[in-house]
Structure 1
Amino acid sequence: MEGYKMYQNLKCEYFPCHKIKNVEIFNCMFCYCPLYLLKEDCGGNFVYLDNGIKDCSNCLKPHGEHSYNLIQSKMETILERAKK
């Protein structure tokens, strides 16, 4: 059983915080995406705003059915960047 890889906060006033077709597979575990730190190589659908801020509003990478495995596969890189 891998229930620890999926979490939904149904009481959250923003749930779901992105427009999706199937709410049942929306994963809230990574409400704040750890991939944000990876800038261009995060693998998500993002844009940079005019002020240089990374806007991830259109990205569902951290909320997908397999988001736990994706993020765990990049944790070593995330931790290395966080040290800098």
Structure 2
Amino acid sequence: MENSHRYFCNRDCRYFPCHPGADAAAFNCLFCFCPLYFLENCGGDCVLRHGVKDCTPCLRPHRPEGYDEILARLREEAGKRRHEAGGA
């Protein structure tokens, strides 16, 4: 894939690819730090280790389609919070 606002691959990163078993040819680095990390149930394949979320096994934000999935979830969470605050 070509680098764009939806996909970015940084093959020069010293950690690339930073997840074991990842497909380096289609690895999306755009969400190097997952924006869903703050959610208790983020929908990814994380593991809790001593109360800390370890996202090493999760490839969700790094798949080419991850951009759309992450943005959809962020919109969903924003809608929930707006509703809880009494907004439209």
Task: Indicate the TM-score class for this superposition, using the shorter chain for normalisation.
Answer: 0.7 to 0.9
Any stretches of 5+ residues in structure 1 without a counterpart?
Answer: none
- How well do the aligned residues superpose, as a CA RMSD in angstroms? 2.2
The alignment partner of 1:70 has SS state of: helix
Q: Higher helix share goes to which structure?
A: 1
Q: Could you say which residue in structure 1 is the equivalent of 2:73?
A: 74
Identity %: 40
Residue 48 (structure 1) aligned with residue 48 (structure 2): yes
Taking a change above 3 Å as real, the CA distance of residues 55 and 21 of structure 1, as seen in their structure-2 partners, is closer
Task: Determine which structure has greater relative contact order: mean sequence separation of CA pairs < 8 Å that are 6+ residues apart, divided by chain length.
Answer: 1
Q: Could you say which residue in structure 1 is the equivalent of 2:21?
A: 20
- Larger Rg over CA atoms: 2
- After TM superposition, the score normalised by the length of structure 1 is 0.81
Any stretches of 5+ residues in structure 2 without a counterpart?
Answer: 82-88
User: Distance in 1 between the 2:53 and 2:22 partners?
Assistant: 24
